[in-house]
Amino acid sequence: MSAKSFFSFLMGAAAGAAVAWLLTSEEGKQTAAELKAKAAAGLDQLENAVEDIKAKAEVKAKAAVETVEEALGKK
């Protein structure tokens, strides 16, 4: 391969990369925004689930303490 054809190859590759970047940059930004929104929604759901589990665990723990106290005759 001569230097001229190698240079032409590199220029063609660079031009192709530039065109690909220009055509996909907005789609890439949109995809990133959609992924960020979905991640935020997932995090909200996870936080809600943790709060629900925490509340249920507190109720069960209080019931268990009451049961033990009744069994020991403290109430």
Single-letter residue type at 24: T
Write out the two tokens for 30: 């949109």
pTM for the predicted model, two decimal places: 0.53
| pLDDT beyond 90 at 66 | yes
Signed CA dihedral, 45, 46, 50, 51: sign only = negative
Confidence of residue 70 (pLDDT cuts 50, 70, 90): very high
Res 75: pLDDT: 59
Q: What pLDDT, on a 0 to 100 scale, did the predictor assign at position 69?
A: 92
The predicted-structure confidence for 9-47, as pLDDT tens digits, reads as follows 888 888 888 777 767 767 777 877 888 899 999 999 999
